[in-house]
Amino acid sequence: MRQITHSLAPGVALSGSRLSDVFDPNAGTVQAQVTLGDAALLDRAVAAAAAAQPAWAATNPQRRARVMFEFKRLVEANMEELARLLSSEHGKVIADAKGDIQRGLEVIEFACGIPHALKGEYTQGAGPGIDVYSMRQPLGIGAGITPFNFPAMIPLWMSGIALATGNAFILKPSERDPSVPVRLAELFLEAGLPEGVLQVVQGDKEMVDAILDHPGISAVSFVGSSDIAHYVYRRGVEAGKRVQAMGGAKNHGIVMPDADLDQVVNDLTGAAFGSAGERCMALPVVVPVTDKTANELREALVPAIAKLRIGVSTDADAHYGPVVNAAHKARVEGWIAKGVEEGAELVVDGRGFTLQGHEQGFFIGPSLFDHVTPAMESYREEIFGPVLQMVRAASFEEALALPSQHQYGNGVAIFTRNGHAAREFAHRVNVGMVGINVPIPVPVAYHSFGGWKRSAFGDINQHGMEGVRFWTKTKTITQRWPDGGVGDGANAFVIPTMG
């Protein structure tokens, strides 16, 4: 059986006797085992990172950018291999796997411009003979703890900016699909990244706690569920670290009466069911405004859902594949049962779906609920599967209130032809990322990604200039060059003023 271990610096001995199964979601069978590391392994990885980081930080930004350029080229050259490896462990179809990798590469493209992003500020003549300037310097050693649903994109979001700004980086990927992060680390080395600057440690909660507690790690970036994000944030901050922890989501799509319903149906089927709903930016709640809109939307959605093709991850015609493992399949089906128990109308039931020849695979058909209410637990919590819930609203104000008052505030979308309604919605909604006729409003790499409320803990977002700020610290210098000598010392103890 294939064994997956760590990608570490030379001389860092592998350790860890505990193993975790890695499944083939299409077949429902174990395809590999990953060795889970321990605190002793992390100690050695941090020591290697600490030894390598100063020279990497001293490398000028343009040369660091060249490593990013070469890494991008290598990933593109190996795209097919990476996508198939990703699909084999996660279950998402090949097209989605390539999208996962490509969205990560877009942050690497941004990181290629790091010489410009690191430029500081300068004020000449802030006072008599006094100039003030600032510089951004790396934190030292950063760590990333990433989820199973984007095993390429999110590690690249974190590592690309952290490395480009001169930090060493230790990545702890999900133990459910751990192979792609290791392969990406190998490509970074091939691109010219010095050994020890990037390392991958496999593990579970034991490794997460070791990272959060380790005094040699200055900053931690995390993406996962909200309860764990809150735990990571609290424990990391208590240990004196800078922490950004992105949590769960329950993104809403508001459908105004004037919306193009054909486009809405097309967007919803992709945003709600694509990648089996295992996206923090999926659109699992649709809010049609007025019953007339809801009835027309429902009538159009049912046949569109029936046309969705569920297949193995290598099926080029499949709209989505299996979920990641049996436990997650059971969890999603449990939420469907909960919705029925709470009184929502189950219009389309995806439970019990099997794929011929892959009967043991972790497949779930698409489900559609109508007449869901905000009081239902299945509405309040994240399902993270191919389930779309319809919550009817009588007015724009009622629709606006639903995402604004929800515990999660990651993303939201509004579908309308009315510019004033869209502008008003974008201005007033209490959510971090807004789409206007865009169902999955993930910002491009040179903007930043981050939600509000229980969708994010910490003050600084992912990637873009927010990412640069997270992975660096600002130093400000106030300088004066006297005309002659050291002087008589008369003003040696006086703080210079700008007067």
Q: Which residues are catalytic?
A: 280
What is the full DSSP assignment across 23-46? EETTTTEEEEEEEE--HHHHHHHH
Q: What are phi and psi of 479, to 5 degrees?
A: -130, 150
Encoding tokens for residue 440? 């999955």
Please provide the DSSP assignment of 432-454 as one string.
SEEEES-SS-PPPTTS-B--EET
DSSP state of 400: H
> What is the spatial distance between Cα 388 and Cα 436, in angstroms, rounded to a whole number?
19
d(CA 452, CA 459): 10
CA distance 170 to 164: 14
Nearest-angstrom CA–CA distance, 114 and 162: 11
Rg (CA), the chain: 25
What's the per-residue H, E or C state across 325-376? Answer: CHHHHHHHHHHHHHHHHHCCEEEECCCCCCCCCCCCCCCCCCEEEECCCCCC
For the sheet with 122-127, list strands across it: 122-127, 130-138, 472-480
Question: What is the spatial distance between Cα 56 and Cα 35, in angstroms, rounded to a whole number?
Answer: 29
User: Could you tell me the two tokens for 353?
Assistant: 């779906």
Computed from CA positions of residues 272, 273, 277, 281, in that sequence, does the dihedral angle turn out positive or negative? negative
- Residue type for 322, please? P
Angle between helices 153-164 and 94-111 (to 10 degrees): 10
Amino acid type, 216: G
Q: Which backbone phi and psi does 120 adopt, to 5 degrees?
A: -90, -165
The upper half-sphere exposure of residue 338, i.e. CA atoms within 13 Å in the direction of its Cβ, equals 17
The span from the CA of 314 to the CA of 83, in Å, is: 10
Q: What b-and-e string marks burial along 85-108, b requiring 16 or more CB atoms within 10 Å of the CB?
A: bbbbbbbbbbbbbbbbbbbbbbbb
